[in-house]
A = this chain, B = another copy of it.
Amino acid sequence: MTQSTPAIRLHRATKVFPDASGGSFTAMRNVTLDVAPGEFVTVVGPTGCGKSTTLSLVSGLEPASAGAVEVGGVPVTAIPRNVGYMFQQDAVLPWRTVSDNVGLGLRYRGASKSDARSRSQDWIERVGLAGFEKYYPHQLSGGMRKRVALAQTLITEPEIILMDEPFGALDVQTRELMQAELLRLWAGTGAAVVFVTHDLTEAIALADRVVVMTAAPATVKTIVEVDLPRPRDVDEIRLQPAFLRLYRAVWQSLREEVEIARQKGASRG
């Protein structure tokens, strides 16, 4: 893979779902987006516009209806190697303890039990779940389950990291800790990250580029380059004037889309 090959390439990617009444529903239309290796891209867009669908195309879990989806220069037909995907829904294994869930990816990759255990212990501490190693998911709170999923995804050190609203269920402070943790990890590895969020502060604070998507069917509306210096202190950065300018730009762009989405919804109804 030469330096110029994007880690992720979407070219006019389109996704059509069969619709409730036998017709079809276009969730994504002609989405074109390249993510370079080592780049951190955040995605914002009106609810229900097609953000999760975009991630599922990149992950290889759903095939595109039309257009090209490539990871590492190779068209996606199955799940690409070294992809990490943290789902929007609860996706940890209900029959595994926290410790086993976090170590799962390592075990799948052939790590020994004790090796997986010690490395997962480290991650459990990083996400602040020490003491809950032996708990089953149903014994955890929503935010704790999210953090298990986070550790589960990052422990395998994927080259492509897809995250779908990972920090939505966390309190402000924990969220900032997790953001810092994520940035630290990412800076070390040069992984390409696509990060979906509804929190614009988060979107700008973390990203190299913020992608604003249109209301369904999703296309790329604007891409806002975030030229803030790294390493960033997420807590402080949002007081800088450059940040506020970016915030307003993204906010404005998004607001238009939400309006469109609502009007569409109303006209459909």
Contacts and interface: CB of A to CB of B under 8 A. Distances in A.
Contacts of A49: 141
Given A130-B266, A175-B198, A142 B52 contact: yes
A174 B97 contact: no
A132 B17 CA distance: 13
A260 to B, nearest CB: 11
A143 B48 contact: yes
Most buried by B among A89, A140, A255, A258: A258
A65 to B, nearest CB: 15
- One complex includes copies of this chain to the number of 2
A259 B177 CA distance: 11
20 contacts: A21-B134, A44-B171, A46-B171, A46-B173, A47-B142, A47-B169, A52-B141, A88-B169, A89-B142, A125-B265, A128-B261, A128-B262, A130-B265, A130-B266, A131-B269, A170-B198, A172-B251, A172-B254, A174-B258, A175-B198
Given A21-B134, A125-B266, A131-B269, 17 more contacts: A20-B134, A20-B135, A20-B136, A46-B171, A47-B141, A47-B174, A49-B141, A124-B269, A128-B266, A131-B265, A142-B164, A142-B165, A168-B168, A171-B254, A172-B199, A172-B251, A173-B254
